[in-house]
Amino acid sequence: MVGLSLCARWIGRSALATLVLGAIAAAGCGSGVEAEKGLIPVSGRVTLNGGPWPRPGQISFIPTKAGSSPDTASVTSIAPFGVDGSFTVRHEGSNGLKPGTYWIAVDCPEGEPSMPQPGQKVADSNAVPKKYRNPETSGLSFDVAADKPTVASFDVNTK
């Protein structure tokens, strides 16, 4: 019994050590991975009439021109934001966006989308006016430069 107990403790400690070392390695590799992928860190805040949101939502970054090279913007990225509007953009599992110009769309729906019954009108309960939910009509755009982290700031005005 004593031998089994010692073995179990050793395995438990080994597993814990492996988890700790893995977490340290992952934390230390973050900025290198982003730089390797050519990503520029992008974070920021989107507000509703200059203030907080009634619930969390999402902001989308859509490239205005599909990347003609691997170093330019080519993929849409969606970042969730909290009621304070703060967000961090992630792309392919890493923080940031590739350099380029992006159209912006914002969405803050109430509840989960549901499938309407035949003949029923689709309920459109969203804190964001339709104008801002479409990147082509939102009037919002954002440039990501290749040389420095970027902080974005947007306001959705419903008045």
Structure confidence by residue, pLDDT tens digits, 73-105: 678 899 999 999 999 998 777 889 988 899 999
Which two structure tokens, joined as six digits, stand for 140? 């919002």
Q: What is the CATH number of domain 38-156?
A: 2.60.40.1120
Is the pTM higher than 0.75? no
Domain ranges across the chain: 1-36, 38-156
Between 128 and 98, the more confident residue is: 128
Residue with tokens 């993929």: 75
Structure confidence by residue, pLDDT tens digits, 23-63: 333 333 344 445 557 889 999 999 999 999 999 999 999 99
Structure confidence by residue, pLDDT tens digits, 9-25: 444 444 433 333 343 33
Alpha helices in the chain (DSSP H): 2-36, 130-133
